[in-house]
Amino acid sequence: MTAALSVFISRIGYTKVGDHWDKSLSEIAFQASKVLLKEEASPPDAIIIANALSELSSSQGNLAAIVADALDLKGVPAYRVEAAGGSGGSAINLGVNLIKGGQMESVLVMGVEKMRDLDPAKVMQAQGLSENADYSQFFGISIAAMNALLARMYMHEYDVTREKLSAFPVVAHKNSSTAEHAQFRKKFTNEEVSRSEAVADPLRVLDCAPVGDGAACALLVSEDKLSSEQRKSAVEVLATESSSNLVNFFERPKMLHFGATEVAAQKALKKAHLSMEEIDFLELHDSYSELTAISLESMGLSKQGEACNDAAAGRFDLNGQFPISTFGGMKGRGYPVGAAGVYQICEAFMQLTERSGFNQVPNARFGLVQSMSGIDSSAYVHVLGFAGRTGRN
């Protein structure tokens, strides 16, 4: 059996997350990738577009062909991937496996989303599409309300106070305050988070990731496409894994445990021949505060019910044991839904190549990226490493 090819991220591109009122989906996709494509001698073998909501937000279908046209990639196979908030993670997983399987030598993965054109009611409707319509739409429960129920259960089960839950937005916004591409470059105190406007009790506005417009891309290439010199500035995808779960979290035997995240992380670490203790930072799916806490506990980084205490103690700060959401995550950088997972990859690339400025994690060798659809309906976990510091060839 032929050994699978190694896959590297050779280049990245992205826009600032925020309001792009004057640009279409294809225009912000072009803005994110124009420098990357200009510097490449040949076009990629395929382009994969990660997007969740273009039909609702922009009245636009057929997005893969439209973006390929805008990027002057006519003739290049173009695909679109949709997995709600996990769309970007799913697209990266697909692109890596296409190269590992020998089908392609290079794949451009582009995440793009426009959310700011929607009024608040439409935003709630759009975000709710990740849940099972037979339940959520029939009973009229929003995604924020479902997360609030999960948060209330978490707080009750582990005796976590409202103030303790605020530790995660504090960490995220501390990191986003120095991230140039972040939507909200402002720090918040624990008290400000806890006293911010209620969305669905116990969740407050500052517990919930803000929607934004944005595009990010990563060029995945086979090891055969890189010279020894080029490899020095590339990041290797050591593993990418996915797993699924019961969509309705209230039907799971363990409602306060993310089984899909746990399985995907374990499989990815095993394939990368690493332990969690060797991971230097994590980019998490932190769209709601309790999701961050349960994700960390499900991956074994905190004991059950202790993640908030660990966050308050500095364990997840940039200079802590396991830095998380190093550019603010979805909470501080902003949450362009379908593109979020590709932003995470770009941010991990910057950490591993020491291009993170004030947000740099010292001596980062290995990073783990987790994204999910819904409330751990599906999870996508990638383990990345920089050969220049990992000692791997």
Identify the band that residue 389 occupies on the pLDDT scale cut at 50, 70 and 90: low
Extents of the domains making up the chain: 7-118+211-230
pLDDT in tens, 240-272: 999 999 998 989 999 999 999 999 999 999 999
Average pLDDT for the chain: 93
Q: Give the span between the Cα atoms of 104 and 290, in whole angstroms.
A: 39
45-59, 137-151, 274-288, 339-353, range with the lowest pLDDT: 137-151
Q: What's the alpha-carbon Rg for the chain, to the nearest Å?
A: 19
Q: Give the span between the Cα atoms of 184 and 170, in whole angstroms.
A: 12
Identify the band that residue 128 occupies on the pLDDT scale cut at 50, 70 and 90: low
Helix (H, G, I), strand (E, B) or coil at 80: strand
Tell how strand 106-113 and strand 214-222 pair up: antiparallel
Name the pTM for this structure.
0.95
The runs of H, that is alpha helices, within the chain are 25-39, 54-58, 63-70, 87-100, 120-128, 136-139, 143-158, 162-165, 167-176, 190-194, 228-231, 259-272, 289-298, 307-312, 329-332, 340-352, 387-390
Identity of the amino acid at 367: G
pLDDT in tens, 3-43: 678 999 999 999 999 999 899 999 999 999 999 999 998 99
60: how many CB neighbours lie within 10 A of its CB? 17
pLDDT at 137 over 80: no
pLDDT in tens, 159-214: 999 999 999 999 999 999 999 999 999 999 999 999 999 999 999 999 999 989 99
Q: Give the span between the Cα atoms of 100 and 44, in whole angstroms.
A: 15
Fold of 7-118+211-230: Peroxisomal Thiolase; Chain A, domain 1 (3.40.47)
**Of 190, 194, 184, residue with least CA distance to 162:** 194
Residues with Cβ within 8 Å of 112's Cβ and at least 6 positions away in sequence, in order, are: 25, 28, 29, 32, 49, 50, 51, 63, 67, 214, 215, 336, 338, 339
Q: Give the span between the Cα atoms of 54 and 82, in whole angstroms.
A: 10
Contact 371, 341 (CB under 8 A): yes
Identify the band that residue 1 occupies on the pLDDT scale cut at 50, 70 and 90: very low
